[in-house]
Structure 1
Amino acid sequence: MVIGGDCSVLLGAGLAMKRRGGVGLVHVDGHTDFRHPGNSDGCASVAGEDLAAAVGLHWPAVSDIDGAGPYFEPARTAHVGCRDDDAELAEVRTVVGAVVPTSEWRGRGTAAVVDALRTTAGAAGYWLQVDVDVLDPSVMPAVDSPDPGGCTPEELIELLRGLAPRAVGASVTVYDPDLDPNGTYARLLTEILTVSLGDLGSELR
């Protein structure tokens, strides 16, 4: 379990998983984080490029450390939680195994989405990357890139409860304490994680 920092920590987790034989990836994020040198001249922050880098679409110094890229196979990679107006949504749909924006998540229901994500990422297990900005900024404003249209705490809890048992590990990122001087949102996030990730890896033991 990795808590803290921004989404670039996914690359370290991915490199470690690749060295252990490879697993799938479920990427829970309010953005696709799919900016890369092939679609942008402004690559400067892996926090907004982590999913692209994790599946091999970045400069080799980022996406192919020690010749290990891609850290996650695109076909075994699933994303959930972006908004409908995400700039890279159309492209990421053509690359990874499953993409479920928040609007589609609500339309299909969490149970069906969990089944689809688990099927895509694989029965052998997957890494679970959670960016706190998947939550709507009305309930979690202490993030670096808040965008309306996110999920509720209850929806996130249900999603993570369904995903956690088959996850080999998890990273939770982008909570910004500078935007939470009273600790209100830290307490909310702690409650969400405590309730939803208690069974992390239980199906793989």
Structure 2
Amino acid sequence: MIALVSAPSNLGLRPPAPGAVPGTSKAPEALREAGLYDALATRGAVDAGAVLPGRYVDDPDRAEHTLRNQDAIIDHARRLAARLVDLRRRGYAPLVLGGDCSLLVAAGLASRVTGAGGLVHVDGHTDFRHPGNSASIGSLAGEDLAAAIGEHLPEIADIDGLGPYFEAASTAHIGCRREDEELAEVTERIAVTIPADQIILHGAARAASRVLAEPRLERGFWIQVDVDVLDPECMPAVDSPDPGGIEPDDLVRLLQELAPRAWGASVTVFDPDLDPTGAHAVLLARILTEGLDRLGEDSGQE
């Protein structure tokens, strides 16, 4: 059974403009208003409450080699991870509605504690910026995959000595654009990498089959979905839209194939500030309802 968890964090994002705050913290309630909670409730989902983040502060004078909102991200990750561990132990499949991609650290902590398996990272970017390949780290939402497999500052990649949260050999990435600067490095480091153009060319079912055939992912995984995997022609309400993304029905099919084996999922970077009519929230609610309604069915959840 799905347990919906609101995690309205914007801590891992850079400000959209000087003095402004990213709007991703509004996403869970925008999705509720768009009918997602009601739609999943008819399929048996329960509302498991919210894990609220600390205050967003853009600190341009922070120490070198630290993250924006680093302490607040770590605190939120610990508290969200505790909620996810509790839900898993009670037999639920958590669906975390973010928020930004820094939430992946919490999922990683929970996965490490429960021995829940690998990671399927669905994102329009590899999110693999880290101190070893960039001098401009600082926003964890663009660095979450690196942190998840231990390629980041130990303060964020080894919280409480639990890193790496996911083994690189048990990690798949789906959806980045060919122009992604870290694509070659990610392809070399993790088990499966499938850029968006391969889904467009060969279909979502084939991409899902490649992931599900990976032996190290057979015992289950967490799904992280960054909404910017979609083409901005249909989903512009994201922090960093790039052309060349997949279509909504491709994402639905991909999630339908993957969701039963996943023990949980997170959905991130939808920004209601960029969706004044609410139409994109309605679209995303449909995608998630159709794509994730069987979340956890084959993962050992009751």
TM-score, normalised by the number of residues in structure 1: 0.98
Pairing partner for 2:117 from 23, 48, 72? 23
Indicate if the aligned counterparts of 2:199 and 2:246 stay in contact, CA closer than 8 A.
no
**Corresponding position of 2:280:** 185
**Corresponding position of 2:297:** 202
Pairing partner for 2:175 from 81, 102, 113? 81
SS at match of 1:140: coil
SS at match of 1:70: coil
**Corresponding position of 2:269:** 174
Pairing partner for 1:46 from 122, 133, 140? 140
Deviation at 1:181, TM superposition (A): 1.2
Deviation at 1:124, TM superposition (A): 1.0
Counting matched residue pairs gives 205
For structure 2, list consecutive stretches of 5 or more residues without a partner in the other structure.
Answer: 1-94
Q: Distance in 2 between matches of 1:199 and 1:144?
A: 28
Once the two structures are superposed, the pairs formed by residues 53-64 of structure 1 within 5 Å of their partners are 53-64=147-158
Equivalent position amino acid for 1:153 in 2: P
Deviation at 1:109, TM superposition (A): 2.5
Pairing partner for 1:36 from 122, 130, 147? 130
Once the two structures are superposed, the pairs formed by residues 135-146 of structure 1 within 5 Å of their partners are 135-146=230-241
Equivalent position amino acid for 2:236 in 1: P
Indicate if the aligned counterparts of 2:116 and 2:263 stay in contact, CA closer than 8 A.
no
Deviation at 1:105, TM superposition (A): 2.0
**Stretches of 4+ aligned residues off by more than 6 angstroms:** none
**Corresponding position of 2:165:** 71
**Corresponding position of 1:114:** 208
Q: Distance in 2 between matches of 1:10 and 1:140?
A: 21
Deviation at 1:22, TM superposition (A): 4.0
**Corresponding position of 1:126:** 221
SS at match of 2:132: coil
Q: Distance in 1 between matches of 2:115 and 2:285?
A: 31
SS at match of 1:8: helix
SS at match of 1:112: helix
Q: CA RMSD of the aligned region, Å?
A: 0.9
Partner deviation per Cα, 1:22-49 (whole Å, 9 max, x = no partner): 4100000000000000000100000000
Q: Distance in 2 between matches of 1:109 and 1:193?
A: 19
For structure 1, list consecutive stretches of 5 or more residues without a partner in the other structure.
Answer: none
Indicate if the aligned counterparts of 1:26 and 1:129 stay in contact, CA closer than 8 A.
yes
Equivalent position amino acid for 2:115 in 1: G
Partner deviation per Cα, 1:85-110 (whole Å, 9 max, x = no partner): 00100110110101000112233332
Q: Distance in 2 between matches of 1:105 and 1:136?
A: 12
The answer on 1:11 being equivalent to 2:136 is no
**Corresponding position of 1:147:** 242
SS at match of 1:202: coil
Indicate if the aligned counterparts of 1:3 and 1:171 stay in contact, CA closer than 8 A.
yes
SS at match of 2:232: coil
Q: Distance in 1 between matches of 2:181 and 2:261?
A: 30
